Amino acid sequence: MNTRKVLYQFGYRRCADQDRPSPARHPVVVVGAGPVGLCTAIDLAQRGVPVVLLDDADRIGEGSRGICYAKRTLEILDRLGVAEPCLEKGITWKIGKVFQNNDLLYAFDLLPEDGHKMPAFINLQQYYLEHALVERAATLPNLEIRWRNKVIDMQRSNDGATLTVETPEDCYNLDSDWVVAADGARSALRGMLGLAFQGEAFEDRFLIADVKMKGDFPPERWFWFDPPFHEGRSALLHKQPDDVWRIDLQLGSDADAKAEQAPERVIPRLRQMLGHDDFSLEWVSVYTFQCRRLERFVHGRVVFAGDAAHQVSPFGARGANSGIQDAENLSWKLALVLKGEAPESLIESYELERSAAADENIGHSTRSTDFIAPRSAQELRFRDATLSLARHAPFAKRMVNSGRLSMPSIYETPLSTPNLDHWSGSARVGAPLPDAPMRDRNGKSIWLLEALGGEETILHVPNGAPPPNGHRVFVLGGDLIDERGLFAQRFDASPGSTYLVRPDQHLAARWRHATPSMIESASRRMRGFEGGPA
Amino acid sequence: MSTLVTESRLADPDRSYRALIEAHRGLSDEDSAALNSRLVLILANHVGEHAVLQEAIALAKQSMEAAKDTSP
């Protein structure tokens, strides 16, 4: 069951670097063509930086692995040109339900308002996302993917690193100004630098099965505590494309991983859960979870991202989502540094912002795992007390934790300029902008985030005074029309309001009445020139 | 921000203590533990401040250490 079928096969091809007398030098080498490495490489290439992406394999295998992609991730994928195939294929959902035994304890809606281009979540097998990213990468002339190119050694220097790469034919060396290590939870590059990967391991084993069947469950996330079909444990059900359902069953800490994966063991469990046996098993795996991280993500010119830098339990869908957010945070900064438009110290803000995000994700995922898999009799008592109180008192419902689903981090960062004025609405300095439906100059419908793309932008609400100068300025009512008034509402906009948006669509600064020097200073600060990390 | 009040606040402490005793009388240890778990959650929510809860936890732990130190 665990030998993975090959779904997409790519070819190894000899590259010119293998025949050079001395190592070729590249601005950026990204190691690992999973979702995080691919997003980083595409983002950099879109920003005009030539990228080499190395991967030790030459295929995408089956096994759905990461399946939940959150709104913010979809917004990033949209900017990278792959949201459309993902949305088309994926299962859109926003409702979660939590059951105890047969009873619905509560339901939650992850996106209770409309007027956003992207849904709260889609479920999509990771291989479809990877395939869409590989196809997108192939359209970028400055992005070169080298399959079956395995990094076997890395020597760091002050201005980059030398990688020794093994191919089916030979070994060759590559010099790079920057290396992005996106080589996953078992990162070889992390090992080469001898870096500790510290944190907490959880003893409970979980069975993950992908089951193919025609089911009449709605596209919602269903979580059970102590379900009748799996007494004393927990279960999770999620719909994926192609009539595939993800089932996640808690097995306990004493389960035998090998025995539990055997079809004669798995099938009766699933039959009990589904109430029939009109299904086929696509993929099954037994997991234990770890929550851990590198102490630092940036080591000179080698930068770690995604699972190579931090690992979480799957409750909350914080693995791939946070990794893709790492990719976007790093890419614009690296592009500016490589173009000489920002000081190298800007990369330190990646460390600061994404390290805080990793801690937030690890915190949420650890607390969820504590609730789902209590480790002592008293932990279990507290958990069961919460579940039974939840039927009587609203406070206990909020304590029930079946996974807190991935939300983007709000950066407390020296790149932000603190508010001088009072603001309401949902926009926050340090957070990604809330989306809103707009019209462009020609009356064509456009989403705010589409219009922004990946460039530093000033949004300005006119008040009779000349609009501000800047890298790129959109005047509301002219360049962008706030058709339904949702921009005004979400940004608490009034005449004169001015917003500075980062290249990753996070809000850097806002003013009720901005002066040119305020905007200039905030823009420099955002690029790491002043008030930046020491 | 308020801090944990350790001065006596109950008008009739004996009566309140008695209420706790009565709630547990006749229960097995397991049921008592389950009842206490519920009470802790309800009272923690009523306190409503994480910092005060932390102080209460610290006081409880401190008194346990003190009890161990003085035990023969």
| CATH number, residue A520 | 3.40.30.120
Contacts of A376 in chain B (CB under 8 A): none
* Cβ–Cβ < 8 Å for A394, B42: no
Name every residue whose Cβ is closer than 8 Å to that of residue A253 and which is 6 or more positions away in sequence. A203, A204, A205
Give the pLDDT mean for A138-152: 97
Cβ-count burial A140-165 (b if 16+ within 10 Å, e if not): beebbbbbbbbbeebeeeeebbbbbb
**pLDDT for the residue A261:** 87
Are A442 and A326 within one domain? no
Closest listed residue to residue A55, CA positions, set A190, A149, A144, A129: A149
Q: Rounded CA gap, A440 and A436, in Å? A: 12
Interface touch A378/B37, C-beta < 8 Å: yes
The 10 Å Cβ neighbour count of residue A23 is: 16
The most distant pair of C-alpha atoms in chain B lies apart, rounded to whole Å, by: 40
**pLDDT for the residue A533:** 39
Closest listed residue to residue A506, CA positions, set A446, A436, A449, A424: A449
Are A355 and A494 within one domain? no
Are A157 and A67 within one domain? yes
Joined tokens for residue B58: 């610290």
Q: Looking at this predicted complex, what is its ipTM?
A: 0.93
pTM, whole model, 2 decimals? 0.94
> Which position has the higher pLDDT, A135 or A264?
A135
Interface touch B38/A393, C-beta < 8 Å: no
A489 phi/psi in degrees, rounded to 5: -70, -50
In a domain, A145, yes or no: yes
Interface touch B34/A399, C-beta < 8 Å: no
**Chosen domain end from A325, A350, A365:** A365
Name every residue whose Cβ is closer than 8 Å to that of residue A67 and which is 6 or more positions away in sequence. A123, A124, A125, A126, A238, A240, A246, A317
- When pLDDT is cut at 50, 70 and 90, the band that residue A532 belongs to is very low
Are A334 and A459 within one domain? no
Q: Of the given ranges (A157-171, A211-225, A372-386, B23-37), which has the lowest mean pLDDT?
A: A211-225
Say how many CB pairs under 8 Å bridge A and B: 27
Residue of A377, A378, A389 lying closest to B38 (CB–CB): A389
In a domain, B6, yes or no: no
Interface touch A388/B38, C-beta < 8 Å: yes
* Cβ–Cβ < 8 Å for A346, A528: yes
Q: What is the helix (H) or strand (E) element at residue A352, kind and residue range?
A: helix A346-372
Q: Rounded CA gap, A206 and A1, in Å? A: 16
Are A40 and A140 within one domain? yes
- When pLDDT is cut at 50, 70 and 90, the band that residue A1 belongs to is very low
Give the pLDDT mean for A171-198: 96
What is chain B's mean pLDDT, rounded? Answer: 93
* Cβ–Cβ < 8 Å for A406, A315: no
**Chosen domain end from A365, A388, A404:** A365
Name every residue whose Cβ is closer than 8 Å to that of residue B66 and which is 6 or more positions away in sequence. none
Q: Which residue stretches of B1-72 are H helix?
A: 13-24, 29-47, 50-70
Q: How many domains does chain B have?
A: 1
Compute the nearest-CA separation of A362 from chain B (Å): 20
Give the pLDDT mean for A78-101: 95
In a domain, A227, yes or no: no
Residues of chain B in Cβ contact (below 8 Å) with chain A: 33-34, 37-38, 40-42, 45
The domain in which residue A13 lies consists of: 6-91+121-196+294-365
Are A317 and A461 within one domain? no
Residues of chain A in Cβ contact (below 8 Å) with chain B: 377-378, 381-382, 384-386, 388-389, 393, 395-396, 399
**pLDDT for the residue A23:** 96
Q: What is the dihedral angle through the alpha carbons of A416, A422, A427, A428, rounded to the nearest 10 degrees?
A: 30
Closest listed residue to residue A14, CA positions, set A176, A169, A174, A173: A169
- When pLDDT is cut at 50, 70 and 90, the band that residue A446 belongs to is very high
DSSP assignments along A52-119, one per residue = EEE-S-SEEES-----EEEHHHHHHHHHTT-HHHHHHHSEEE-EEEEEETTEEEEEEES------SS-
Q: What is the Cβ-side half-sphere exposure of residue A56, based on CA atoms within 13 angstroms?
A: 14
- When pLDDT is cut at 50, 70 and 90, the band that residue A263 belongs to is confident
Are A351 and A447 within one domain? no
- When pLDDT is cut at 50, 70 and 90, the band that residue A2 belongs to is very low
Residue of A378, A386, A393 lying closest to B33 (CB–CB): A378
Residue A530: DSSP 8-state: S
Contacts of B27 in chain A (CB under 8 A): none
Radius of gyration of the CA atoms of chain A, in A: 24
* Cβ–Cβ < 8 Å for A49, A28: yes
Q: Which residues pair with A197 in a beta bridge?
A: A294
Contacts of B41 in chain A (CB under 8 A): 382, 385-386, 389, 396, 399
* SS3 of residue A402 by DSSP: coil
Give the pLDDT mean for A194-208: 91
Helix axes of B50-70 and B29-47: crossing angle, nearest 10 degrees = 140
Percent share of chain A, pLDDT over 90: 79
Joined tokens for residue A211: 């089951």
Residue with tokens 């009587």: A392
Q: How many domains does chain A have?
A: 2
Contacts of B34 in chain A (CB under 8 A): 381, 384-385
Could you tell me if residue A60 is left (phi over 0), alpha (psi between -120 and 50 degrees) or otherwise beta? beta
- A104-120 pLDDT tens trace: 998 999 988 999 999 99
- A277-307 pLDDT tens trace: 899 998 898 888 889 999 999 999 999 999 9
Contacts of B40 in chain A (CB under 8 A): 382, 385
Q: Rounded CA gap, A241 and A305, in Å? A: 28
**pLDDT for the residue B1:** 58
- When pLDDT is cut at 50, 70 and 90, the band that residue A400 belongs to is very high
What is chain A's mean pLDDT, rounded? Answer: 93
Q: Rounded CA gap, A322 and A73, in Å? A: 8
To test the contact with chain A by mutation, choose from B28, B38, B50, B57 the residue with the greatest count of A C-beta atoms within 10 A, namely: B38
Interface touch B41/A396, C-beta < 8 Å: yes
**pLDDT for the residue A64:** 67
Compute the nearest-CA separation of B37 from chain A (Å): 5
Interface touch A385/B45, C-beta < 8 Å: no
Q: Which residues pair with A61 in a beta bridge?
A: A6
* Cβ–Cβ < 8 Å for A490, A466: no
- Distance (Å) of CA A411 to CA A43, A214, A329, A415, A425: 20, 43, 11, 9, 18
Give the pLDDT mean for B3-13: 95
**Chosen domain end from A318, A334, A365:** A365
B38 phi/psi in degrees, rounded to 5: -65, -45
CATH code where residue A145 lies: 3.50.50.60
* SS3 of residue A428 by DSSP: coil
Q: Rounded CA gap, A274 and A286, in Å? A: 20
**pLDDT for the residue A534:** 37
In a domain, A388, yes or no: no
The 10 Å Cβ neighbour count of residue A296 is: 12
Are A24 and A141 within one domain? yes
- A467-477 pLDDT tens trace: 898 889 999 99
Residue A3 has pLDDT above 90, yes or no: no
Are A299 and A171 within one domain? yes
Residue of B37, B42, B45 lying closest to A382 (CB–CB): B37
**SS3 track for A112-164:** CCCCCCCCCEEECCHHHHHHHHHHHHHCCCCEEEECCCEEEEEEEECCEEEEE
- Distance (Å) of CA A236 to CA A98, A164, A273, A297: 9, 43, 11, 32
Are A189 and A315 within one domain? yes
Interface touch B41/A388, C-beta < 8 Å: no
The domain in which residue B19 lies consists of: 13-70
Compute the nearest-CA separation of B38 from chain A (Å): 5
In a domain, A384, yes or no: no
Are A499 and A361 within one domain? no
What are the start-end ranges of the E strands in A217-301?
221-225, 234-240, 244-252, 280-287, 290-294, 298-299
Contacts of A396 in chain B (CB under 8 A): 41, 45
